[in-house]
Every structure is written in structure tokens, then in C-alpha cells.
Structure 1
């Protein structure tokens, strides 16, 4: 038996899970290392794999723990990491985009050649089984002479409208094309070879904070030999259409690469009456067969072989199969192909009008901010609105963020963004010097209770202790109404309604936030922590998402299964009203109290979607969700995860927890109105205008 190829993952973010799962399923490969500057993130990914943990690339290289690495960091540091790993004797796979230009990609490729190591681009969709079949059929002439192709990526990109705005892909307009273009260009180059870019234009601009425009779509025309190619990228709220369509003299082939479905439409030789019937029956047969096949594959694999996962498995099989057998690289995943893809994207960018690529000049700073308020979580939906409200009220603000930039480029005199680990008490204390009020809007969405205690409860307590040490006069913590039992429509909820003594049968988010409140209130009672608690309802308004999971389970932008029957009034609240309520808690004599920031009774879930239809002309398919069925389905998943997949820390929320998601229990919002003088919007027409009409829910 040959020695397995040892692979390390550099970067432990979202995409790392997909790489890890696919590598675990790849014969002859073993994941032996995970590297991330956030040790907790690296450890969470490494432990189930039995891999070693590192916090620097140098440490990983020096350990000799792996033969190859997958580089899964932000693209702006790909080149330096890839170069370091290649010159240290490691093969590399670099997640797309492999670099920020064709020249940088060529530099990586040349380094690989000089080091006699392999460099692979992470163009995973080229490994999809249905794509391989399409390519083979094209080569065999099954589609006849192909004259045109349409390659489309139409999928909402919510950060363009609701943040976070400090992501790499939003730093420059061209980054959007660099991020998504490799998927589409990779298909075209692999199918047709080199191409000429004829035209490029951008569509549906949206303005980021600071009056900084970004396109939400691109249309690009190209030619490869005799084939006319149209590339379409659409990032507004749209139905998911990620596809490759080939039009040939004998057939039209359409690959839905998001669903791993290839359908071929052909003419038939039947008479004029039977011809259209036979054509549609053949198409329906293909759809039905593929639908059943995919459903069965996902069911028997417990959804570990979904189309996206399969694409990574196909890519890994091609890459590591060649490495293990000493064969030449698969052309789809070679350094040469990576260079061609990125140089083609460079040519697309060069064809765009110059004004599309222009970013707003940052406002000139005329003084250094002197913050008296700190917002932790200030780059999120509520945090952005709160920060701007504080500035409007005449306060300078210090925003605590993972990076040193935030969504306030137009406020350099009033807002400063600082970076400090939420796990570092000394750094937090130092960041709070001179601060009078701290708003803790941070939250952590974890998969186990142990992680919740560390990343949510532990962080909340650490922020509280730092506030005490720094002499902060008021700490305002945002909990969640999800911690309440909202399953009984006959029970009204006020701030005097307690949480359950035993929260172990609740979802982790609700349980964790309740535990944060309990621990913080203990500090208030025992040590005088100057604490106030706010629990916002379902927050809506400009900067918020269309696909709000507080209302239902979404299936793309056009369909939602609401929690329950959808006829009960939901605890909506406008984002500006939440910011107003939080600001009113700064000076009011309310230490140790909590406030549910719930707007006036306005809309049910059905009413909300009816209002979207009436005001914006967009009819969303709304399906009631049977909560008993949700509970039963979740119970089955729980058993499979725990006993079939052997996952640790799996929880099973109760039926009451599921019913609470429907917000059956009505809220009484008199306390914040009486005590704080809070006045949420009372006029339904104005509420709809702010929550829907002017909220830019669809991006255009």
C-alpha cells in the first residue's frame, strides 16, 4: 500500500470545510494540518480530522507535517503564501481567484516550475461529473457544430447590499469579477480554448457606505474560434441560474452546474403532430431521471455528496490521482490553465468602462476622532445604523472589528475602527480607554455548546470585565427575543417573562444568548456591572436582507417556507427604531433592566410578503411550514448525525423551540416606551415604506 499524500489547509474559513470533506473522501490523501491565525478556528476544523494545528505558515512548513497545501485565505495574500510553500517543497492548490492578476498567477506558476512542484487552481466546478459528460459529448460531436454558448452565474450576493462591507471582494469593483469570473472563464477555456474579449459592461450599480458605487452584474461578449460566447454575472436578488448552455447544429445542451444536471434537447424525426410532444416528453424524462438520481445520491450519502461537494471530489480525484501515479497534471487544474484564466479576466476588466472601475475617494480626515462610545459588532446591520446614529447625535465612535477598516469611509473625523481579539482581555481593556458606553452587539454562531461557552458566553463576560477595568459607565448588551418560549399564542411576552430554567432543549443560539444574559446579570448584582440589556425583534429596513431567516426558511430569492401558518403578527421593528432605542439606554437610569425593542403590531409573515408584492411588484412563493413536520425531520437528522455520522455535540431542539420560530406569542412593548420614551413607527404605510419600499431588498 502506497504512502498517503499528506495535505495541509491554510485558512479555516467557510470554504475550508468543503475542501476538508472532499479530501477526506479522496483515496490516497490524508489531511494532517490546519493553519489559521485564529487558533480556535483552526482547532475546530482540525480536531475531527485528527490534524495538527498551526497559526503561521512558517510553523506549518517547518513541521514537515504535509506534502501539499490548499491555500484558502483571502486572494490578496495568495501569491506570497503560494510562493513560500512552493519554494519550501510543497505542492499547492490555490482557491480561486488564485491571485489578483494574470501576472501574479504567472509568477506563482513560474515559481512552481523552478521548484519542480505542482501548482493547481481551485476551479472545482470543472470536476463535476455532469460537466465531464458535457465536455466528452462536445468532443464526440454529439451536439453538432456549436455556434454559441451562454455561461451564466446568477446568484444573489447579499454583502453588496447588507454587508459586511470590509470583505476583499468589495474593496474594488474589479474584485467582483475576479471572485466569480474564474468559474465561468474556466468552463469556456476548457471547452473552446483561447478566446478574444469583444465587449464588457457592468449593470445594476449599488452604492456602498461612503457613496462608493459597485456593479451588481456584468455582461461580457467573447469569441473562441467560430463560437460566440456570452458571459452573464448577476448578483442582485435573482433566481439561481448557474449554467452553461451550448447551442449546436444537432442539439442544445444545458448544464445546471449548481445542481449537477445536464439536459440535452434534440430534434426528432416524428411527424408534425407528434414532434413537439416527443420533444417535451424526452426533456421531462431527462429531468425526472436526473432529479431522482440526485435525490437518491444525497439521501444515501446523508447529503455529503451534494453537487457542490461532488465538484470538489472530482477536482481532488484528478489532482491527487495524477500526483500519486506520477502522471502529468490534468489540464483543467494545471498552472498553465490558471494563468490563461486570470489573463482572460484581466482582458475582461480592461474592456470595462473606466468609470466602472473607479472607487470613491475616501473623505479627508481633518481631525482625529475622540470616541466616547464603542460599538462591538459595528460593521453588522444593527451596528452600522447605531454607529451612524451616535455620530448624528454628536458622539465620536470607536468600532471594534476584526480588521482596521469598516463601512464608515465618509466619517473619518467621527469614527475610528480598531482591531482587538475578543479573547484578549488586556487588548479589550486597552481599546476601551476613554470610552463611556460600550455596545456589545457581538454574536457567535457555533455548532456545539462547548464552542458557545467559549466564543459567545466567554466573550460576553470578557467584554464585561474589560468594561469594569476600563471604568466604562454603561454596558449595553444585545440579547435576542429568540431566547423566549414563543410557542403559545395565549401567552403575552413582556420583559418580566423569564427564560426557561432548563434551556438544553433550545437551539444553541437561543440558549447561548440566554446564558450570556444570566451571567452578565450576576455580575450586575454581585459587582455592580453597569448593565442594560436590549432584545431587538425581527429587524427590517435599509441594509437588511431580503432573505430574512427570522421569517422562514428560504429557497432562493423567490420561495420561502414560513415558520408556521404565517397569519400571526410578527415582532417586526425598523432598524432606525432599534438604533434609537439603544441610544436612549445610554443615560436613562435603567441599570440592571432589559428592554424588548419590538415595533407596534403591523404585519404577519403573509402580510409582509403581500406588501412586497404590492409595493415592489415581486410575488414570492410563500408556503406555510408545518412545525410538527420540521420537528420530526429534525429528529431524523439528529439520529443520523449522532449515530450514522458519529458527530459530537449534536443537539435536538424541542417542539416548543420550533414553534417559537413562528413567534406565536405576542409581545407587549410598553416598558421601553414608558421608561425610555421610545416611540417606534406607528403608521403602517410609513412602516411599509421604510421596511420594504426604500429598503433596496432586491438590489435594484
Structure 2
């Protein structure tokens, strides 16, 4: 008897979450990835090539191709409904990433469409697929925890975009989108465990101002009832210790599921005497933690880090969805009824919140059309925002290139226009540069292979250079990085004319890609007169910057960091406002063809930086020394495993110099930048700490 044909899956939307879905699908029996659809063809092709799938740039072309029998809809939530309805109406089953839609009405319409067309519709509530959650639910239903009287469901995890952007993301468009994004995770647990949930109270906490005095809550407290069970939902998005958990309190036990770590522990009473009782209780808990820790570590090691808890949640969800789908049935956890019930509760929470936690204030009214002479590509990022506002303060209008038409400048409608331009479209770029004198290119791509970097980073940089020439722009300011230097030798001082290493093949992708961009743009300058100036910012800090800055060390949540090296050498910190001033000076000074390292005055080591955070903000971060040789050795082992065990293509061979460069052992001399640009980075230590730390909003409150 031959095995049935696998279910052919199409992935619609090839962003960050698509990799998790794709890896889980690849490990799910009875299915295969047949297609990837994304309007950005290069992004779709990158994911499709990993799974031998077809590439599509429109949903319509995917549907008509007949390549799939089911799809995962992984686009921004505001377009989920239209895509799901189209796929269902054309005979495809759908799984829609949470939030399924922006309203319960939209979710009901998807459910009705699925029923009318005889198709299956599943919500992507992935954490319900965790093995540890299944054990908790089974034990509760068997009465192992006694009679449950209350439950707490917590999501405490920093959400960096609230403080450092990008602010064009869907989840920041409206305050209520934060609840739409995170609420389904929490509500799905309660709904699945206890049934219908009634909201009795909801409040928003810890507001933070987005650019333009546009507030967003960074926390929610919600009280609810589910039958005789009192339920509390807690959401915290400030810099906090990771606590994503479900706690059940019953008459016989307290069960706590750490669903971020896939660990379930149960605390029970025991019949020992008063002296032994507390000891036995803690030892039983300790034994559970050790057992789960060892089991999870074994699973991670055996799978070569491909089965972390988050990955297992997607695998569990897919196994439940497609195991049932093969029989044309649905697991109740991932059914249309569950999707509707969860969104009903989330919408009830939103309706119980105060108005300011649901909708944003009306943006400022435009009184004139901007007349931009400067274009900022990457203007919604950390440095780009500071640059754009600096340009406006100097009396210039700005055209910001972004993926969407929204951006972090609602208070500047007369001075800033945001345009959506495909960076792969040279003609569109050239057209967008009409009337522009200066183009600032701050764009960067997140790539996992050198081939991706050549296409999505180097190719884009060259295309922007071509458009600058086509449009007759007077100056292109390209932003590279000091990471491209060999900074491993403390005896070396790096100047603006210090060359990059001749061989960059063993450097990290970011450093190598940025160096290649510089090389090709400089070639265009020499051969074709590209009016180019190159900036290489140092470790940039300041208002709107992240706490967890990976230029300083490897972070483990908000409370612990392993710094690169011993942490006593002076680091090339620089304020984002000073970088913005340097970029503007590079556009105005007679410096075409030159490169400048925008590093601040030598002031703080990594340890000094964390001591300053402690003294200024009262927060002691656990700082550990990072042995760079150990990092290198671990990276070498990972390289061998990825290349030979997992057989991944394009794996980068690690180098000791690359790891030592992360510690920034070499000093930087910014004399040339100060002289040629009349640039004056902050030199006063107290003012530097005030702007870079005290006023930077590092913790969100």
C-alpha cells in the first residue's frame, strides 16, 4: 500500500515568522512546502530555495497555479482577512497566524467562508502545541491539581520596537494593536483550559511616547472569570526578566507552566512533619526543575539546536492541525470555533480599556506639501529618525523611504513625506529621487548567507548608487560600519584611512557585506563619478536606542550580558544625535570620495557603561566577562555541525580575529572627521551619560 500524497503547503508572507513555520513544516510528517509567496521576490526566493518550493509574488498567481492544497497566511494582520477569504473561496485550507484578524467580525467571516466552501480554517495559536502544555491540561482535567480556583497567564517580555523602532510596524499603528498581537497567546490558554471567558476589568500601564508625542501602553492588567475560575492576564513589554507562564492554583497543587522554556512544575503539599515538610517541598520542586532542564538540554543537543521550545510549539501545532486535516477533521485547539472565541475575548478586553489605550490621537494636519531636497533611506530606524529630525530642525524638508507609507513623524506632516519604494526597483528609486540634492543611505539587510547579502545588501546599495547617477543627485552619503575593521589588536589605532582586511571571507556577514558595499560604491565613484561620501558610525547610543545593544556584548534578557572580552578597554561610543550631525556635515563639506569614522571621544569602557547605568538609573545588570577564544571555539564547533551534520549551505567559517574585533580592542582616532567636517561630538562625560543613558529610555519606564 502506497503512502498518501503529502499535503502541499504554500507560505504567504516570507517575513521573520515564516522561518519558524517553514522549519516546523519541514519536520511535520505528511506535508511539504510547495510554494512561497511574497511581493518581494528575492525574499520569497531565499526561503523557497531552502525547501525546493515554487516562488510567487501575488496570492492570485499562487492560487491559480494549483501548487498547493493549504496555505499559511503570515502577512501583516490587517490583510489576513482578504487573503484567507480568497484562498478558502478557491478551495484551499488555511492556517492564519495570530492575530487572525483585526476584529471578531473579520474572524467570523473567515470561519463562515471556510464552512460554506467545505474547507478547514485554523488559527496559529502555536503555544497550545507545546508538549508541556498538553501535560498540564491532561493533569488538570484528571483532577491532579484538585479543584482550580484561580489562574494567572503572564507575558512579560521586552518589546524593543516600542522604544527604538521601527515605528512603521503594524503592531505600533494603533495602541490596541499591542493587545491584538499578544492577547491571543494568553486568551487561547484560558479559553482552551476553562471555556468561555468573561472580562471584568482591564487597564493599560507604563505608557511610552513614540516619536511625535504619540503614547503607547507597555503593559496591560486584565481580570476575568471563566466559570468558577478567576483569571488574571498580565502583559509587560518594558525591559524585564522573561516570564511567559501559565499558573493554575488548585486545592491539591499549584502548577506553573513556563511556556517559553517548555517547563512544567507542580508544587504539592506533603504529609511530613513541620521540620521536614518545607525541605521536602523545595527538594521536590528542585528535582522537577533539574529533570526538565536535563531533558530539554538533551533535546537541544540531540537536535543541534533545532528544537528549542518555540520551535517545538510550531511543530506541535502543525502535528495537531495536519494530523487531523488528513482525516478532514480539526483539533478543537486549532479550530474555527476556537479562533472566534479567542478573538471575542480579545475584543472584549480592548473594549474595556480606556480610549487612549485603544486608538491613537489624530495626527497633525498637513497645511502644505513638503518640498524635500534630502532623501533618507532607512529613515524610520534609530539613526535615521535622529537624522530626519535634525534635517527638519535645520529648515530642510525630507523624503523618507520606508516599506510602508507610515512612519515615526506624525508631528511633521509639512516637512516629512514617507514613500514606499521597492529597493529592488531602480526605476522607482530614480523617480523617487527627483528633485533631491542629497541621498542618505542607512539601509541594511538581515541576511543569513553570503548569497543573500550580495542580493539584499550589496545589490541594493549598488542599485541606489545607480539611481543617484540616473537622477543627478549631488551627494550620496552611505552608512557603513566600523565592524568591518580588524579591531583585534590593542596596539593599533584606526583612522579614516585604515584599510579593511584584504580577506573578509571569514568575517561575520554584517561586517563583510558592509565592506563589500563600500568597495563597489567606491569603484562607482572612481569610474563613473558617483558623488559618494562614506560614514562608519561607532557604537551608537542615545534616546530611542536599545538597552540590549549587541555591539557591547551577548545579551541574555534585559538583566544579564556577557561582554565581548574583559570589558576594560575604551569603546567607540557615540551619541545618535552626533552621528546625525556628522552625516549632515558630510553632505555639505567638500569631501566627496572620502570616508569618515564617526566615533565619539574616548570615554567609557563596557564596564564603565554598565556602572553608569547602575548609578544613573538604579539598575544593576549582571555583567560577565566573555572569553573570546571560547566564543571562537564554540563558533568553530557550530560551523562544523552546520556544515557537515545539518548540511547547510553558505555557512561562514569563523575566525579568531573576527571575534576579537567584537571587543573593539583597537583605538579610534576621529581627528580627521572633526577637522574636515567641523564635527564636534560630545566631549563632556556627564552630558554624554545624561543623553546616552539617563534620558535614553533604556528600560521603558
Output the TM-score relative to the length of structure 1.
0.99
2:148 corresponding residue in structure 1: 146
How big is the shift at 1:356? 2.3
2:198 corresponding residue in structure 1: 196
For each residue in 1:195-229, what CA deviation from the matched residue of structure 2 results, as whole angstroms up to 9, or x when unmatched?
Answer: 21000000000111121111000000001111110
Cα separation, 1, equivalents of 2:517 and 2:384: 19
1:31 corresponding residue in structure 2: 33
Among candidates 300, 306, 322, match of residue 302 of structure 2? 300
Equivalent pair of 1:211/1:360 in contact (CA under 8 Å): no
Equivalent pair of 1:7/1:66 in contact (CA under 8 Å): yes
Question: What SS does the aligned partner of 2:81 have?
Answer: helix
2:678 corresponding residue in structure 1: 677
Cα separation, 1, equivalents of 2:50 and 2:355: 48
Question: What SS does the aligned partner of 2:495 have?
Answer: coil
How big is the shift at 1:451? 1.6
Equivalent pair of 2:176/2:359 in contact (CA under 8 Å): no
Cα separation, 2, equivalents of 1:66 and 1:526: 48
Q: Which range moves more in the overlay, 450-459 or 275-284?
A: 450-459
Cα separation, 1, equivalents of 2:526 and 2:10: 48
Residue correspondence of structure 1 range 511-590 to structure 2 within 5 A:
511-590=512-591
Among candidates 251, 254, 261, match of residue 253 of structure 2? 251
How big is the shift at 1:358? 3.4
Cα separation, 2, equivalents of 1:530 and 1:195: 62
Cα separation, 2, equivalents of 1:689 and 1:178: 35
Residue correspondence of structure 1 range 123-202 to structure 2 within 5 A:
123-202=125-204
For each residue in 1:99-126, what CA deviation from the matched residue of structure 2 results, as whole angstroms up to 9, or x when unmatched?
Answer: 1111111111011111111110000100
Cα separation, 1, equivalents of 2:27 and 2:402: 36
2:439 corresponding residue in structure 1: 438
1:212 corresponding residue in structure 2: 214
Cα separation, 2, equivalents of 1:572 and 1:49: 42
Equivalent pair of 1:210/1:360 in contact (CA under 8 Å): no
1:493 corresponding residue in structure 2: 494
How big is the shift at 1:325? 2.6
Equivalent pair of 1:9/1:34 in contact (CA under 8 Å): yes
Residue correspondence of structure 1 range 285-684 to structure 2 within 5 A:
285-326=287-328, 328-684=329-685
Q: Which range moves more in the overlay, 582-591 or 550-559?
A: 582-591
Output the TM-score relative to the length of structure 2.
0.99
How big is the shift at 1:357? 2.0
Moved over 4 A (4+): none
Cα separation, 1, equivalents of 2:356 and 2:43: 39
How big is the shift at 1:243? 0.1
Structure 2 residue ranges without an equivalent (≥5): none
2:244 corresponding residue in structure 1: 242
Question: What SS does the aligned partner of 2:39 have?
Answer: coil
For each residue in 1:531-555, what CA deviation from the matched residue of structure 2 results, as whole angstroms up to 9, or x when unmatched?
Answer: 1111100000001000000000111
Matched, 1:83 2:80: no
For each residue in 1:216-247, what CA deviation from the matched residue of structure 2 results, as whole angstroms up to 9, or x when unmatched?
Answer: 00000001111110000000000000000001
Matched, 1:273 2:265: no
Q: Which range moves more in the overlay, 206-215 or 483-492?
A: 206-215
Cα separation, 2, equivalents of 1:68 and 1:155: 32
Cα separation, 1, equivalents of 2:617 and 2:242: 20
How big is the shift at 1:512? 1.1
Q: Which range moves more in the overlay, 296-305 or 354-363?
A: 354-363
How big is the shift at 1:355? 3.0
1:47 corresponding residue in structure 2: 49
For each residue in 1:356-385, what CA deviation from the matched residue of structure 2 results, as whole angstroms up to 9, or x when unmatched?
Answer: 223121111111111111111111100000
Cα separation, 1, equivalents of 2:38 and 2:389: 33
Question: What SS does the aligned partner of 2:522 have?
Answer: helix
How big is the shift at 1:654? 0.8
Question: What SS does the aligned partner of 2:123 have?
Answer: strand
Question: What SS does the aligned partner of 2:588 have?
Answer: coil
For each residue in 1:555-581, what CA deviation from the matched residue of structure 2 results, as whole angstroms up to 9, or x when unmatched?
Answer: 100011110010101000001110111
Equivalent pair of 1:125/1:183 in contact (CA under 8 Å): yes
Cα separation, 2, equivalents of 1:108 and 1:340: 13
Question: What SS does the aligned partner of 1:438 have?
Answer: strand
Cα separation, 2, equivalents of 1:238 and 1:76: 29
Cα separation, 1, equivalents of 2:55 and 2:440: 33
Cα separation, 2, equivalents of 1:21 and 1:529: 42
Equivalent pair of 2:639/2:654 in contact (CA under 8 Å): no
Equivalent pair of 2:175/2:356 in contact (CA under 8 Å): no
For each residue in 1:292-346, what CA deviation from the matched residue of structure 2 results, as whole angstroms up to 9, or x when unmatched?
Answer: 00000000001111111111111111111111134x3111000001000000111
Would you say how many aligned residue pairs link Structure 1 and Structure 2? Answer: 699
2:698 corresponding residue in structure 1: 697
Cα separation, 1, equivalents of 2:314 and 2:462: 40
Cα separation, 1, equivalents of 2:598 and 2:240: 32
Cα separation, 2, equivalents of 1:469 and 1:699: 44
Q: Which range moves more in the overlay, 456-465 or 187-196?
A: 456-465
Structure 1 residue ranges without an equivalent (≥5): none
For each residue in 1:144-183, what CA deviation from the matched residue of structure 2 results, as whole angstroms up to 9, or x when unmatched?
Answer: 1111100000000111111011111111111100100001
Question: What SS does the aligned partner of 1:535 have?
Answer: strand
CA RMSD of aligned residues (A): 0.8
Cα separation, 1, equivalents of 2:542 and 2:522: 31
Cα separation, 2, equivalents of 1:627 and 1:84: 52
1:57 corresponding residue in structure 2: 59
